[in-house]
Structure 1
Amino acid sequence: MSGDNPPSDSQSDLPSDLPPEYAEAYRRGYERALREGPGAAGAAPPTAAGQPAERRPEPPVQQAPESAEPTQAWSVEQYHGLHRASASEPTRAVERPAPDDLPVYAGYVERDDRPFLPGTDDPSRDADRQDDPDERRRKLLPPLLLVGLALLLVVTAYGLGRVFSSGVGEADATVEEPDGVTLSEDGAATPSQSAEGGPAKKPAPSTYRGPVDAVAVGSATASCQSDDSVDSAGRAVTYEPAKVYDGDLSTAWRCDGSGAGEQVSLALPEEVTVGEVGLVPGYAKTDPASGVDRYAENNRLTKVRWTFADGTSFVQTMSGSATDRDMRRVRIPRTTSDQVTLEILGSERGARNTVAISEVWIGAARA
């Protein structure tokens, strides 16, 4: 019978409108069904003679699942059912939601596992990072480092300042000066400062600019005096305070050391109005036998204080040069007194550590 003989061409029953991607799978399934014999792939089993073969009911029409991939192998019944369904009714397109219907936020689908792309703004992720303790510590670290560095610099500067000020204080041989007027070598008067560096309590009076006359000194006393010695020729040399007003620059009052704080007091014959003071701030002598310059050999004064009977005081500053041995005069405000005290505040060190004053000058202001 025709049902017992397989067709010569295994592809004769292939649907004409079967998609190409399903043709190969369909052919292989059809041939396998024929090889397995009667009863396979929908064939009717053998019956008694003269009776027609009972035809098996056709399988229900099935549609391919929407999620099936084009390369998935289907059974013969599935392909037949799909073929017949395709022939009886039009193919329906799978409806998928439009992209606009999906929930979208700032370029991301609202899912918990959405990716994070660098350079994009995601407020929720920024909030998460802000709540992270490690993130907060990373943000606070740079400001804390800057504050610590600033404190370290302040403490270091303070320590260096203390060390420097201590060194300067130990090296300074001058004594503190009271409130008064500082006189420069040109006679200009300026208010002096207190020991704390504040302004002077007394205003600077006007400096006297008129003519002056020399005042004879009656006597002199000093707080210290060097021992007598001899010069290069063997002649005796003394250093009593009276040498400061004898009119001879080759003689001097001398004291050992820097002289800081040492004083020479001058008594005047009578009360006069002083308008100028001065001194030769060293031992202005050249040894006649050896030619040694005693001025450069001894210490030279750099700062002195003049104090008068009424308590008025003035500070005079000098350079301490080893080559300038002239009389250093300064004009002062008119001051009436019969006594003048000269106090050493500072000196420039020479080869021989002794301080000397060769001569002093007191000038009375003319009426």
Structure 2
Amino acid sequence: MVLQVPDEAVRKSTGGDPRPGVEPRLLVLMLAIAVVAGFFGGRLVLIRSDSSTTGGAEVISSSPLEPANSVDDGQYTPYTGVVKAVTPDSAEGKCSESQEGDAPAALIDQSDTSIWRCRGEGIGETAVFEFDEPVTLAALRVVNGNTAWTDRYTAERRITAIRWTFDDGSFFDQGLAPNDRDAQEVRFPETETTSIAMDVLGVTEPGDDSDLSDAVSISSLEFLAPA
């Protein structure tokens, strides 16, 4: 025997016409899943975005950065004319780990085989180049890294930034491309000085794990004056 329930009774028990739909408990569960998925989806986007901005190689400029103490009272206009090489009369400096005192002299001895090289991380290594008489400097050329020894360029550290300071205390920071074996030139306003100090600000990691590779080098350095 089949019991027949009148349509009117159905409408009264449900408060209106029966409609197809989702059970309330199931609807709440679906909404909760959507909220959680949205939260984690947003987190993944943020993490991916952060990774894209911090990953990869940093772009290094070989142009001078705006100096804190400008070499010409804030009017930083690099010299653009013809230049000629001038050689300092002396160079002094000690590597912090080895305490070798003759390393900077290798950069002014006019030899293609001798280099300035300090063992260790390299940041904070300094050298001072002096002229017997005041000279006007307008540019520098740096061969970054160890290009003199066979197969040592990529194995050792390379410099990414140097601060150059003149005898009056003014200075500028030079960015160096870490994978350029050629001379990298930087120009600045004509500046008269009797000395210029070099301070290593940034370096790369070594190319391998050997003790010999934990070092920084400059293979060649030229000081340039207006011709």
Q: TM-score range by the shorter chain?
A: 0.5 to 0.7
The answer to which structure has the higher strand fraction is 2
Q: Is the 8 A contact 2:145 2:217 kept in 1?
A: yes
From 170, 179, 191, the counterpart of 1:320:
179
The verdict on how the C-alpha distance between 1:244 and 1:226 changes in structure 2, with shifts beyond 3 A counting, is farther
Quick one: which amino acid aligns to residue 219 of structure 1? S
Structure 2 partner of 1:307: 164
From 139, 143, 164, the counterpart of 2:31:
143
Structure 1 partner of 2:188: 332
SS at match of 1:142: helix
Q: Is the 8 A contact 1:183 1:330 kept in 2?
A: no
Structure 2 partner of 1:285: 148
Structure 2 partner of 1:175: none
Q: CA RMSD in A?
A: 4.4
Q: Which deviations, in whole Å up to 9, do the C-alpha atoms of 1:215-238 show, x marking residues without a partner? A: 32132222416769xxxxxxxxx9
Task: Determine whether 1:209 maps to 2:80.
Answer: yes
Q: Is the 8 A contact 1:208 1:332 kept in 2?
A: yes
Q: Is the 8 A contact 1:273 1:364 kept in 2?
A: yes
> CA shift at 1:357, angstroms?
2.1
> CA shift at 1:342, angstroms?
2.2
SS at match of 1:349: coil
What CA distance in whole angstroms lies between the structure 2 residues aligned with 1:114 and 1:157? Answer: 49
SS at match of 1:249: coil
The answer to which structure has the higher helix fraction is 1
Structure 2 partner of 1:112: 9
Structure 1 partner of 2:198: 342
Q: Which residues in structure 2 correspond to 1:45-56 (within 5 Å)?
A: none
Structure 1 partner of 2:91: 220
Bigger radius of gyration:
1
Q: Which residues in structure 2 correspond to 1:250-265 (within 5 Å)?
A: 250-265=113-128
Q: Is the 8 A contact 1:253 1:356 kept in 2?
A: yes
| Number of residue-to-residue matches in the alignment | 205
> CA shift at 1:139, angstroms?
3.3
SS at match of 1:275: strand
Structure 1 partner of 2:218: 357
The verdict on how the C-alpha distance between 1:350 and 1:124 changes in structure 2, with shifts beyond 3 A counting, is closer
TM-score (norm 2): 0.65
> CA shift at 1:125, angstroms?
3.5
Q: Is the 8 A contact 2:115 2:220 kept in 1?
A: yes
The verdict on how the C-alpha distance between 1:350 and 1:141 changes in structure 2, with shifts beyond 3 A counting, is closer
Structure 1 partner of 2:130: 267
What CA distance in whole angstroms lies between the structure 2 residues aligned with 1:160 and 1:183? Answer: 27
**Structure 1: gaps (5+ residues):** 1-108, 116-121, 173-181, 193-202, 229-237, 287-292
What CA distance in whole angstroms lies between the structure 1 residues aligned with 2:132 and 2:105? Answer: 15
From 17, 23, 33, the counterpart of 1:125:
17
Sequence identity percentage: 20
What CA distance in whole angstroms lies between the structure 2 residues aligned with 1:220 and 1:298? Answer: 27
SS at match of 1:124: coil
The verdict on how the C-alpha distance between 1:111 and 1:259 changes in structure 2, with shifts beyond 3 A counting, is same
> CA shift at 1:214, angstroms?
2.1
> CA shift at 1:280, angstroms?
2.4
Q: Is the 8 A contact 1:301 1:347 kept in 2?
A: yes
TM-score (norm 1): 0.44
The verdict on how the C-alpha distance between 1:191 and 1:211 changes in structure 2, with shifts beyond 3 A counting, is same
